Structure 1
Amino acid sequence: MLLIPPPVRPDPEHVPTERELREDLACAYRLLAHFGMTDLVYTHLSVRVPGGHGHQFLVNPYGLLFEEVTASSLVMVDADGVALQRTTWPVNPAGFVIHSALHRGAPRAQCVMHTHTLAGMTVAAQAGGLLPLNQMNMELHDRVAIHEYEGIAAMDNLEERDRIMRDMGDRCAMIMRNHGLLTIGRTVAEAFYWMYYLEQSCRIQVAAQSTGAPLSLPPPAVVERVRGQASDSPVKGWLPWQALKRKMDREQPDYRD
């Protein structure tokens, strides 16, 4: 029988160390690979590192599969995606355009996650956006921004960062039209929580639509009530995050290397 001690509740005022952030972000990369939410070596997860001079973030080295990312392989970059440390792997500054927009302008965007999943891209191609088909979808009601497609994010269109920030507002998630999904969080745990359930919501929607049966949409008052029942705690997503880290510690402990 596996005996697991109950986790100690976190201190919302705790400022994580760089090592803690490296391990959490590497764990998130492995989990996205585990749950089938990757696009080969493309897309990024990033986290702000407190202290230092100016804005500093950890991001994946360009060319590694998510399942290969480790804590030590993550690269420190500045707000423009330029590496601040010696690395044998390149960094994709163009891929960091989306992340830098939110890290710069959204106070709660300590961690930013961006994916290109089949379900996410399918919903991103639909005019109606995310529908309130399930309580997972309803928790995200009015928490999901929409950003219209402007082409592949690149360093030659830095003005898009302002529009991404404007469109996100005070929300925690975004559907990028004809592109993919994006979430932010005050912690890696929170950003992962929103990404996991945004992805699940998209999968539910695509599956429900694929049946061809009429869709059942709850009354707006019910949707609002469910949305209000979901907490917005500073430690959002912390409890499942502890369970997921235990899973990775059992199955892929090298993420901490």
Structure 2
Amino acid sequence: MHIPSLKDQVSADEWQLRCDLAACYRLVAMYGWSDLIFTHISARVPGPEHHFLINPYGMMFDEITASSLIKVDQDGNKLSESPLPVNRAGFVIHSAIHAVRDDAQCVIHTHTRAGVGVSAQRNGVLPISQQSMFVLASLAYHDYEGVALHDAEKPRLQDDLGMANFLMLRNHGLLTVGASIPDAFLSMYTFESTCQIQLAAQSGGAELGMIAPEILGSAAEALRAQTSGMGGAFAWPALLRKLDRVDDSYLT
């Protein structure tokens, strides 16, 4: 599908945001977290309007480009031209979060087998891995209400998320928010790894050892140390180099 370039039609800041968000879509596809065309990643455009970018409904994640991303307002009106629509369920979830979390530039939502598998477990994420300690430091849960098509679910979604950065959508999947696209991506990488490790550990059938609460409490300090205080930005350049070695067409 040919999408005309928007590079000369948007601000430099918006173009950079589009490039980073398109890269995020390609990386999610590369790591096997996509669900055909049915999940979503959004990024808030700088400014007071709460406009955000989201994928056109009908494109695979490994096709997303900077110019193909659709800019929408809080009512779901398209503010950039696209021959494709915006997924209603994606809009409901992402608009709900962007409306109340000014600190959340990026929201990533996935339906991976590991994520859905753990979301179906009554006890959710267990403190059994190093990865889980970072998730448990800022984790919330939202009960399943069916496919997220209705605005009536927004207040409950907002209340359940609160100021957490990890949200387990029960019987549904995973969601992360971040102050930047790299932060949200690193959080999702950690969340997904946590779920994969938990299912692998449970499949062994042995009794699971739990991490002590006092160690769990050191997660924030450990994350700062591991990323030199940079969060997701510490790993992002390497991720972009990895992506560029495969396909840099997301930059168009």
Q: How does 1:71-86 map to 2 (within 5 A)?
A: 71-86=66-81
1:26 aligned residue (22, 25, 44) = 22
CA pair 226-92 structure 1, distance change in 2 beyond 3 A = closer
Q: SS at the partner of 2:218?
A: helix
Question: Can you give the 5+ residue segments of structure 1 that lack an aligned partner in the other structure?
Answer: 1-14
Residue 100 of structure 1 is matched in structure 2 by 95
Q: SS at the partner of 1:73?
A: coil
TM-score under structure 1 normalisation? 0.89
Q: SS at the partner of 2:141?
A: strand
Please state how far the C-alpha of 1:200 moved relative to its aligned partner: 0.4
Paired amino acid for 2:166: A
Total equivalences in the alignment: 240
Question: Can you give the 5+ residue segments of structure 2 that lack an aligned partner in the other structure?
Answer: 1-10
Please state how far the C-alpha of 1:228 moved relative to its aligned partner: 4.2
Paired amino acid for 1:144: L
Q: How does 1:1-257 map to 2 (within 5 A)?
A: 17-51=13-47, 54-154=49-149, 157-231=150-224, 235-257=230-252
Cα RMSD, aligned residues only: 1.8
Contact 2:161/2:167, CA 8 A, preserved across alignment: yes
Q: SS at the partner of 2:59?
A: coil
Paired amino acid for 1:21: L
CA pair 16-181 structure 1, distance change in 2 beyond 3 A = farther
Contact 2:118/2:199, CA 8 A, preserved across alignment: yes
Q: Percent identity?
A: 47
